[in-house]
Amino acid sequence: MPYELPELPYDYAALEPHYQAENLEIHHSKHHAAYVAGANTTLERLGDARAAGDFGGLVGLEKTLAFNVSGHVLHSMFWKNLSPDGGGKPEGELAAAIDEHFGSFDVFKAQLSQASVLVQGSGWGVLAYEPLGGRLVVEQVYDHHANLVHGAVPLLVFDVWEHAYYLQYRNARPAFVDALWNVVNWPDVAGRLARTRR
Ligand code: MN
């Protein structure tokens, strides 16, 4: 089955004023859609290469696969990480884990904000669960697929590609990151941690 662009779990205007409808619609219907198309095209080309027994272009195809599938995975998570009913602070096990591994919610918030703001070029700030050590980590992901901690499962992702915010926030990436905290869907993040730990 080919990859498909998922519907947003809310209307394009639902996250306003924190996320402008026009910016969100282009982000989802154009940018995310392009990663879905790119992932499917790359899978087809890999199939063609296998059928032909010709792996001459394999290095480029593997890189393109990682870029597009990771873009699809991260955007699919990003939409669910946000909610018109979001914001505030996490509760329960997620709150306890954040306190344990970062010291406090405010310190965690500062680290993830800075990891996001300070991405050089295009990328993501990510909260992830690293299963070998059983710890939460913040990752600074470049593009969609570089600078990852292997095996760590992303729980909360902040898209800081310029396409994510430039229409609404122009060059003010820090203002976009600040706004995202107002719409974080903490029950979604907590559910991801609980399922990953199990
Ligand atoms: Mn994006």
Domains of the chain: 21-81 (1.10.287.990), 92-197 (3.55.40.20)
Question: Is residue 17 reached through a cis peptide bond, with omega within 30 degrees of 0 on the bond before it?
Answer: yes
- Ligand 1 centre and the CA of 53: distance in Å? 35
- Ligand 1 centre and the CA of 50: distance in Å? 31
- Ligand 1 centre and the CA of 75: distance in Å? 6
- Ligand 1 centre and the CA of 32: distance in Å? 6
- Ligand 1 centre and the CA of 56: distance in Å? 31
**pLDDT value of residue 43:** 98
Contacts of 25 (CB under 8 A, 6+ apart): 12
- Ligand 1 centre and the CA of 141: distance in Å? 13
Contacts of 93 (CB under 8 A, 6+ apart): 190, 193, 194
**Roughly what angle, to the nearest 10 degrees, separates helices 58-81 and 33-52?**
150
- Ligand 1 centre and the CA of 161: distance in Å? 6
Average confidence (pLDDT) per 10 residues, the chain, 198 residues? 96 98 98 98 98 98 98 98 98 98 98 98 98 98 97 98 98 98 98 97
- List the Cα angle 47/50/54 in 5-degree steps: 125
Find the helix or strand (DSSP H, E) in which 155 lies. strand 153-159
**pLDDT value of residue 1:** 86
Prediction pTM value: 0.97
- Ligand 1 centre and the CA of 60: distance in Å? 22
- Ligand 1 centre and the CA of 111: distance in Å? 21
- Ligand 1 centre and the CA of 162: distance in Å? 8
